[in-house]
């Protein structure tokens, strides 16, 4: 079975057929950096990281573009409240997002463009739209005229133009020909940053930014555009309209992840229910938080509770326990071992992570039985299958990401702990148990737990 994904634009599961054979291009709407990220923000990053990893494992050369919206009404509003320049707010929060993505094991994007670095491309796109009769300048602003695209506007969100409300993206609606027209460019206002254009100084509208960046890095027609379901309208609807009206094919597939909620409410800062990433990784380890976010189907909503979070952590620890015990018996794991067919079929069926993880847990159960029987051949095969599946999901407990203080320091941590454990082993051999216990206590103080097993001492980062 080849990869099939749910395409929001057709409201159907479609076989993935790339623009260019063997290559896949993905654009993910990234952060609007007016505040640090909570787990609702980072869910999208985790979901599309799994997609990217699976497409890479399936043989595609993936170009993954995740943008940063670093100029926006909300950023300007926060900056004014704090009496700091807008770029201070944007830079501070972009760093917080980068830290969160890295902490939860998301691979770095192929390219991560900032909106403010692509104003020339936005000017070019606006000029193309004006030349084609789909946009107009008015009072220093530039607007997209939805009536010029009336036969197709609303197709992604399945809405009729006649039923839509005003765009409400400007202080002076009299500048518009139609209240539903949306702003491509916002004219200069006191205290706001500006860039020069043929229509006067100002700053870009949110929707224009993504169209300009996506086509610059992925081409006029690319494979997949992703983001949260809350972006379908108006953001993604407007991206399609302005891009296709300008003559670009734009995205061939639209993928949207579900929301993370607390009770009946969408998680948001305005409700005071944000669960920021630094807070969350004090409750569970980062890899356990990633498991919690990756385990549900990406299109489903997640109703957050601490109980569910801890259940996910316990489920991951069962997997981790097998991998750890099996690795003490099997030292060389076949990184090229074939994946179980049921696992591949699950991910090919619209990235079915719940079914894929069910396969992981079934293999782990078989592996524990093989361990209890002392069947090393079966343990070797099942360990390889488990680690290869976990690698696709970004959850392999033996990867450098999760074993030490980041991929660069993991070998150093391994070496230092190994020396300490050898010293402890020598102390136990000469029956100097006081010295052995002191070494264990020193490691514990450094955040490293030591467990004695029949195969020798085992260490892990303290929970």
- Convert the pLDDT of each residue in 410-439 to its tens digit: 566 667 677 767 777 777 788 777 777 787
pLDDT of 404: 60
Which residues of the chain form CATH 1.20.120.640? 302-403
The pTM is what?
0.89
Are residues 205 and 169 in contact, defined by beta-carbon separation less than 8 angstroms?
Answer: yes
Mean pLDDT of 232-252: 98
Residue 50 has pLDDT above 90, yes or no: yes
Mean pLDDT of 357-364: 98
d(CA 202, CA 193): 7
Are residues 255 and 297 in contact, defined by beta-carbon separation less than 8 angstroms?
Answer: no
pLDDT of 463: 62
Q: pLDDT band at residue 406, thresholds of 50, 70 and 90?
A: very low
d(CA 311, CA 303): 14
Q: Domain spanning 302-403: which CATH class is it, in words?
A: mainly alpha
Are residues 424 and 439 in contact, defined by beta-carbon separation less than 8 angstroms?
Answer: yes
pLDDT tens-digit profile of 249-265?
A: 999 999 999 999 987 67
Residue 210 has pLDDT above 80, yes or no: yes
pLDDT of 1: 84
Phi–psi pair at 93, nearest 5 degrees: -80, -30
d(CA 58, CA 389): 12
Which residues of the chain form CATH 3.40.50.620? 4-257
Residue 392 has pLDDT above 60, yes or no: yes
pLDDT tens-digit profile of 124-157?
A: 999 999 999 999 999 999 999 999 999 999 999 9
4-257 belongs to which homologous superfamily? HUPs (3.40.50.620)
Q: What are the angstrom distances between the C-alpha of 215 and each of 23, 115, 125, 153, 227?
A: 16, 13, 10, 20, 16
pLDDT tens-digit profile of 55-80?
A: 999 999 999 999 999 999 999 999 99
């Amino acid at each position: 079975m080849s990869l099939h994904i749910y395409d929001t634009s057709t409201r159907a599961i479609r076989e993935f057929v790339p623009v260019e054979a063997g290559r896949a291009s993905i654009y993910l709407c990234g952060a609007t950096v007016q505040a640090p990220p909570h787990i609702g923000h980072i869910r999208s990053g985790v979901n599309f990281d799994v997609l990217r990893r699976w497409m890479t494992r399936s043989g595609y050369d993936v170009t993954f573009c995740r943008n940063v919206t670093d100029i926006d009404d909300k950023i300007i509003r926060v900056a004014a409240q704090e009496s700091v320049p807008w770029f201070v707010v944007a830079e501070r929060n972009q760093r917080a997002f980068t830290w969160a993505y890295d902490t939860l094991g998301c691979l770095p994007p192929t390219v991560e463009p900032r909106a403010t670095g692509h104003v020339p491309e936005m000017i070019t796109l606006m000029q193309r739209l004006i030349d084609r009769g789909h946009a107009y300048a008015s009072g220093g602003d530039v607007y997209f005229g939805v009536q010029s695209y009336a036969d197709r506007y609303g197709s992604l969100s399945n809405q009729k133009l006649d039923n839509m409300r005003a765009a409400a993206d400007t202080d002076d609606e009299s500048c518009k020909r139609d209240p539903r027209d949306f702003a491509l460019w916002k004219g200069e206002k006191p205290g706001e940053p500006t860039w020069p254009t043929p229509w006067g100084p100002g700053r870009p509208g949110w929707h224009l930014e993504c169209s300009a960046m996506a086509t610059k890095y992925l081409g006029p027609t690319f494979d997949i555009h992703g983001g949260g379901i809350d972006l379908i309208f108006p953001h993604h609807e407007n991206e399609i309209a302005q891009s296709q009206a300008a003559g670009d094919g734009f995205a061939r597939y639209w993928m949207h992840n579900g929301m993370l909620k607390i009770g009946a409410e969408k998680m948001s800062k305005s409700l005071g229910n944000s669960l920021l990433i630094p807070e969350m990784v004090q409750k569970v380890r980062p890899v356990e938080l990633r498991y919690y976010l990756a385990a549900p189907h990406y299109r489903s909503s997640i109703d957050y509770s601490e109980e569910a979070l801890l259940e996910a952590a316990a489920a991951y620890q069962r997997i981790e326990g097998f991998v750890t015990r099996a690795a003490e018996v099997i030292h060389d794991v076949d990184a090229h071992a074939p994946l179980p067919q049921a696992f591949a079929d699950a991910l090919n069926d619209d990235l079915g992570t719940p079914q894929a993880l069910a396969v992981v847990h079934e293999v782990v159960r078989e592996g524990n039985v093989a361990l209890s029987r002392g069947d090393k051949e079966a343990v070797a095969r099942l360990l390889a299958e488990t680690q290869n599946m976990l690698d696709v999901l970004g959850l392999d407990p033996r990867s450098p990401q999760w074993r030490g203080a980041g991929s660069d320091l993991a070998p150093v941590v391994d070496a230092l702990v190994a020396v300490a454990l050898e010293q402890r082993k020598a102390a136990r051999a000469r029956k100097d148990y006081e010295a052995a216990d002191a070494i264990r206590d020193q490691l514990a103080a450094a955040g490293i737990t030591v467990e004695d097993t029949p195969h020798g001492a085992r260490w892990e980062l303290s929970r």
